[in-house]
């Protein structure tokens, strides 16, 4: 399994409370043939380009594995609920996450015949060192909580559980889709 995150911040640095090790950090995302070594165009936003390159390298490594056809493989792209909606003052972030969601779909179509599944995890705001300063602002914290019907922001464990499920045999028919872990934000 390859876990492609947004970089060394946010969920990329978060870890479950029961773990003493930081979560693995892989990079960010965008398009080109996943089975080739051709990089995406330079005009691709940096975060999207980085995620594409990491996912492409992971796919190539999986394709080289002799047991891949019987064992399969899974690439999990870390997206966001903002890859499914829009929000004020979040245009660039939404752009990169929408691109990641599209890439997840395209990668899934390219890699399915090789036994490799591609899914994304789209979480809501998660308590991490990156979101702590934002959530410390009472107006912003209220804005976020008012949009989550479940009444709370996410915890790293919520995202970890989704990743474990998405990479497990229990999700063997899931590919090209997003597992939305947002407390109901996008259901509105």
Nearest to 78 by CA among 128, 120, 124: 120
Alpha-carbon distance of 77 to 74, in angstroms, equals: 10
Told to judge if 61 belongs to the known catalytic residues of this protein, a careful annotator would answer no
* Choice among 21, 61, 69, 97 that is catalytic: 97
* Choice among 21, 61, 93, 132 that is catalytic: 93
8 neighbors 54 (Cβ within 8 angstroms)? no
From the CB of residue 120, how many other CB atoms can be counted at a distance below 10 Å?
A: 28
Q: How does 152-164 read in b/e, with b if 16+ C-beta sit within 10 Å? A: ebbbbebbbebbe
Partners of 118 in the β-ladder: 75
Told to judge if 132 belongs to the known catalytic residues of this protein, a careful annotator would answer no
Contacts of residue 79, defined as CB under 8 A and 6 or more positions apart, other chains included, come to 97, 100, 101, 104, 120, 121, 122, 178
Backbone CA torsion sign across 147, 92, 130, 51 = positive
Alpha-carbon distance of 101 to 54, in angstroms, equals: 15
Active site residues: 93, 97
């Amino acid at each position: 399994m390859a876990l492609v995150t947004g970089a060394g911040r946010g969920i990329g640095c978060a870890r479950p409370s029961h773990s003493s090790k930081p979560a693995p950090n892989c990079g960010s995302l965008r398009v080109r043939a996943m089975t080739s070594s051709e990089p995406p165009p330079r005009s691709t936003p940096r975060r999207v380009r980085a995620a594409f390159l990491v996912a492409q390298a992971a796919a190539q490594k999986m394709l080289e594995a002799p047991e891949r056809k019987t064992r399969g493989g899974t690439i999990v792209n870390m997206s966001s609920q903002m890859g499914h909606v829009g929000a004020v003052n979040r245009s660039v972030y939404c752009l990169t996450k929408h691109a990641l969601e599209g890439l997840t779909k395209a990668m899934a179509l390219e890699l399915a015949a090789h036994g490799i599944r591609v899914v994304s995890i789209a979480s809501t705001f998660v308590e991490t060192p990156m979101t702590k300063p934002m959530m410390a602002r009472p107006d912003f914290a209220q804005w976020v909580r008012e949009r989550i019907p479940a009444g709370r922001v996410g915890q790293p464990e919520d995202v970890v559980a989704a990743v474990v499920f998405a990479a497990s045999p229990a999700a063997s028919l899931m590919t090209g889709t997003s597992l939305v872990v947002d407390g109901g934000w996008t259901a509105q």
